[in-house]
């Protein structure tokens, strides 16, 4: 961009009027906010603008980097900075870079959405487009008549074999290709099970995923909520007549509890004694920060345990690719159930995923994402420690969200006040925690005597203590609110602003 074009941006610096980098940032924000720079418009290179303004290149580079972290700019290699798309006029900094889930009808509001912090999605900006396109190209170029015909009901034979080997390597499952059913995401795996189980009573975790519970109910099963404590689902409280138990043992939703070895053994023994099965939703198992890997339940008893997973939180929900590993005795029933649901999944995407896993691209993507998510988690914990020192956090050792207990705050009122600040998030009561104390049930399940972390001290030290057997903090005496905060799509630089808005809502 020429000198004249740069001057048309009305960027001018005044020595002695504050840090030069801050002046560049403030003026570019104002130009974007006022519509004088529009979405997609290219800005001068850092070298060109630095020359025009007679400052060092580092001043402009750092300003661009900060604006990109806040979501005002997009910076891509070899193309220079561009103005990001402003989905909502008047939204605050950072919001443009966050994943957009949309506001549920019950959350309708005239306030611009600054942050959508509800759990359930990765940072979609991290989707490995080039790597995925390469695998998709391999699938298309290698597709013969068989690959272009209707696929097998159970899914691509190649992908089923790849998934069996991959899950065994990273999660300790015991399966062959014959045990794997490829599904349209985890949801279709649950639907297939519901059809195959013909109206059975099924134990589900409380608190737990309300969406899955409702899906099972609509499909004819009878969900029976059973309490979760600091070791996982309470086996002693399982009704004798349930035919299946649905659990999230690797990172319980929403508390973040990891099912203990003793509780796993107890649950498996109960299932065998009651002629029941276990449905293992391998929720959030891919991302671990402060604890050693925990193997899948299925690897302990393949004859008793169904194992469900998907790429929705590692790659993208749009791919609609998941899997169900089933005991051999259930293969025929599940295939019959699937035949009544569809005529098979898109075959080329299945072959692409097989290639993506086989050549190591999936492993590389998860490693890179885990590093980014750890930084974002750390930034959120530091912001919580600084601005909400009386808060208690659980579930920080793994996954993509944390549960934050804030004492002396009515949960429904706090969620509404956050919404008024443009922050959309879930309270624990929305997922089955007892509303009488602002999510006391989740407070108990998260184990404020067994692994939760108080924010008043060193946030990262506390996170490391979460699942490693280090000294525990005492449970807060007062009731309050428990908020579920996803850090997946919150840039490091935005964490302080997120917590500032929550703190402001608390004081409203």
Q: What does the pLDDT read at residue 10? A: 65
Least reliable range by pLDDT among 95-104, 260-269, 345-354: 95-104
DSSP state of 433: -
What b-and-e string marks burial along 87-97, b requiring 16 or more CB atoms within 10 Å of the CB? Answer: eeeebbbbbbb
Average pLDDT over residues 63-89: 70
Report pLDDT for 465.
39
Concatenating the DSSP letter of every residue in 185-200 gives HHHHHHHHHHHHHTT-
Alpha helices in 275-360 (DSSP H): 331-339, 347-358
- The predicted model gives 293-312 an average pLDDT of 95
Q: Has residue 450 got a pLDDT over 60?
A: no
Q: Which is it for strands 80-83 and 73-76: parallel, antiparallel or unpaired?
A: antiparallel
Sheet arrangement for strand 480-486 = 426-427, 480-486, 401-407, 392-394, 453-454
Across residues 274-300, what is the average pLDDT? 92
**Taking 80 as the threshold, does the pLDDT of residue 409 lie above it?**
yes
Rg (the chain; Cα; Å): 25
Q: Is the pLDDT of residue 469 over 90?
A: no
**Contact partners, residue 18, CB within 8 Å, separation at least 6:** none
pLDDT of 133 over the 60 cut: yes
- The residue ranges of every structural domain in the chain are 3-85, 105-125+364-507, 129-360
CB atoms within 10 A of CB 49: 25
Secondary structure E strands in 232-276 = 232-233, 244-247
Looking at residue 298, the DSSP 8-state letter turns out to be G
Place of tokens 């003026």: 27
* Residue 442 clears pLDDT 80, i.e. is over it: no
Give me the pLDDT at residue 342, please.
Answer: 78
Average pLDDT over residues 484-499: 92
- Higher pLDDT: 94 or 393? It is 393
Mean pLDDT value of segment 191-196? 95
In this model, does residue 94 exceed pLDDT 70?
A: no
459 versus 406: which is more confidently predicted? 406
Where are any strands of DSSP class E within 3-114?
Answer: 73-76, 80-83
Residue 196 binned pLDDT confidence (cut-offs 50, 70, 90)? very high
User: Which residue blocks in 199-248 are alpha helix, DSSP H?
Assistant: 210-218
Q: How many CB atoms lie within 10 A of CB 12?
A: 11
User: Looking at per-residue confidence, does 274 or 88 come out higher?
Assistant: 274
The pLDDT score that the predictor gives to residue 68 is: 74
Q: Which of 379, 392, 418, 409 is nearest to 504 (CA)?
A: 418
Which class does domain 3-85 fall in?
A: mainly alpha
pTM greater than the 0.85 cutoff: no
CA 106 to each of CA 103, 209, 215, 320, 487: distance values in angstroms, whole numbers, following the listed order: 8, 18, 19, 26, 23
Is 365 or 73 the better-scoring residue by pLDDT?
A: 365
pLDDT per residue over 43-57, tens digit each? 888 888 888 888 888
Query: What phi, psi does 297 have (nearest 5°)?
Result: -60, -35
Hunting for tokens 């906010």 — which residue is that?
A: 33
495: pLDDT strictly greater than 60: yes
Which of 346, 371, 381 has its CA nearest to residue 456? 381
pLDDT band at 441 (very low <50, low <70, confident <90, very high): very low
Distances from the Cα of 9 to the Cαs of 15, 167, 245, 288, 470, in angstroms?
Answer: 19, 53, 61, 45, 55
Residue 359 pLDDT > 70, yes or no?
A: yes
Kindly tell me if the per-residue pLDDT of 21 is higher than 60.
yes
Give Cα separations from 12 to 55, 91, 309, 320 (angstroms).
11, 25, 53, 49
Q: Which of 115, 127, 125, 227 is nearest to 485 (CA)?
A: 115
User: For residue 6, what pLDDT band results from cuts at 50, 70 and 90?
Assistant: very low
Q: Tell me: the pLDDT tens digits for 150-174?
A: 889 999 999 999 999 999 999 999 9
Q: Is the pLDDT of residue 111 over 80?
A: no
For residue 308, give the 3-state DSSP assignment.
strand
CA distance 338 to 323: 13
438 has pLDDT over 50: no
If you average pLDDT over residues 276-295, what whole number do you get? 91
How many percent of the chain have pLDDT more than 90?
57
Q: How high does pLDDT run on average in the chain? A: 83
Handedness of CA 171, 177, 182, 188 (dihedral sign): negative
Residue 466 has pLDDT above 90, yes or no: no
- pLDDT over threshold 80, residue 434: no
From the list 286, 281, 323, the residue with the least C-alpha distance to 161 is 323
Averaged pLDDT for residues 68-76: 73
- Which range is least confidently modeled, 31-45, 246-260, 381-395? 31-45
pLDDT at residue 270, as a whole number: 98
508 vs 166, residue with greater confidence: 166
Phi then psi for residue 32, to 5 deg, are -70, -45
The Cα angle at residue 19 between residues 16 and 23, in degrees rounded to 5: 95
Going by C-alpha positions, the residue among 11, 15, 41 that lies closest to residue 27 is: 11
**Domain boundaries 129-360, CATH class:** alpha beta
Place of tokens 């108990």: 444
b/e map 15-25, b = 16+ CB within 10 Å = eeeeebbebbb
Query: For the structural domain made of 105-125+364-507, what CATH number should be given?
Result: 3.90.1150.10
Neighbours of 78 (CB within 10 A): 4
- What single DSSP character describes residue 318? G
CB 381 within 8 A of CB 403: no
Structure-model confidence comparison of residues 277 and 58, the more confident one: 277
Q: Give the rounded distance of the alpha carbon of 437 from its chain centre.
A: 26
3 state SS of 144: coil
Mean pLDDT of 337-349: 86
């Amino acid at each position: 961009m020429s000198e004249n074009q740069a001057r048309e941006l009305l960027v001018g610096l005044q020595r002695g009027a504050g840090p030069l980098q801050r002046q560049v940032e403030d003026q570019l924000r104002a130009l974007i906010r006022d519509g004088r720079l529009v979405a997609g418009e290219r800005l001068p290179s850092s070298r060109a603008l630095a020359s025009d303004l007679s400052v060092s290149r580092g001043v402009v580079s750092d300003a661009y980097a900060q604006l990109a972290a806040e979501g005002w700019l997009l910076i891509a290699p070899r193309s220079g900075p561009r103005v990001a798309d402003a989905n909502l006029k008047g939204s605050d900094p950072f919001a443009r870079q966050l994943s957009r889930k949309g506001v549920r009808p019950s959350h309708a509001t005239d306030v611009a959405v600054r942050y959508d912090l509800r759990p359930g999605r990765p940072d979609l900006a991290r989707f490995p487009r080039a790597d995925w396109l390469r695998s998709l190209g391999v699938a298309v170029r290698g597709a013969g008549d068989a690959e272009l015909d209707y696929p097998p009901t159970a899914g691509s034979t190649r992908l089923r074999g790849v998934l069996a080997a991959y899950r065994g390597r990273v999660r300790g499952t015991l399966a062959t290709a014959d045990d794997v059913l490829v599904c349209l995401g985890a949801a279709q795996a649950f639907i297939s099970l519901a059809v195959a189980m013909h109206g059975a009573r099924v134990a589900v975790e409380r608190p737990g995923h309300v969406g899955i519970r409702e899906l099972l109910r609509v499909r004819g099963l009878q969900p029976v909520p059973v309490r979760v404590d600091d070791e996982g689902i309470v086996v002693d409280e399982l009704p004798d007549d349930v035919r299946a138990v649905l659990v999230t043992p690797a990172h319980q939703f929403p508390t973040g509890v990891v099912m203990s070895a003793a509780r796993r053994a107890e649950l498996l023994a109960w299932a065998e004694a009651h002629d029941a099965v276990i449905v293992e939703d391998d929720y959030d198992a891919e991302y671990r920060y402060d604890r050693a890997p925990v193997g899948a339940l299925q690897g302990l008893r393949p004859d008793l345990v169904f194992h469900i997973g998907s790429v929705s939180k590692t790659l993208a929900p749009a791919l609609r690719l998941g899997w169900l590993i089933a005991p051999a005795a259930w293969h025929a029933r599940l295939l019959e159930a699937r035949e009544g649901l569809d005529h098979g999944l898109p075959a080329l995407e299945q072959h692409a995923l097989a290639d993506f896993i086989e050549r190591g691209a999936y492993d590389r993507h998860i490693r890179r994402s885990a590093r980014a998510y750890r930084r974002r988690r750390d930034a959120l914990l530091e912001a919580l420690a600084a601005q909400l020192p009386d808060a208690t956090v659980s579930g920080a050792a793994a996954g993509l969200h944390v549960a934050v207990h804030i004492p002396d705050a009515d949960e429904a009122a706090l969620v509404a006040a956050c919404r008024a600040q443009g922050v959309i998030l879930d309270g624990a009561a929305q997922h089955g925690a007892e509303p009488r104390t602002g999510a006391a049930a989740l407070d108990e399940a998260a184990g404020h005597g067994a692994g939760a972390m108080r924010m008043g001290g060193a946030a990262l030290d506390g996170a490391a203590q979460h699942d490693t057997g280090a000294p525990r903090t005492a449970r807060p005496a007062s009731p309050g609110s428990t908020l579920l905060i996803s850090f997946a799509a919150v840039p490091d630089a935005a964490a302080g602003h997120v917590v500032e808005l929550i703190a402001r809502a608390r004081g409203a």
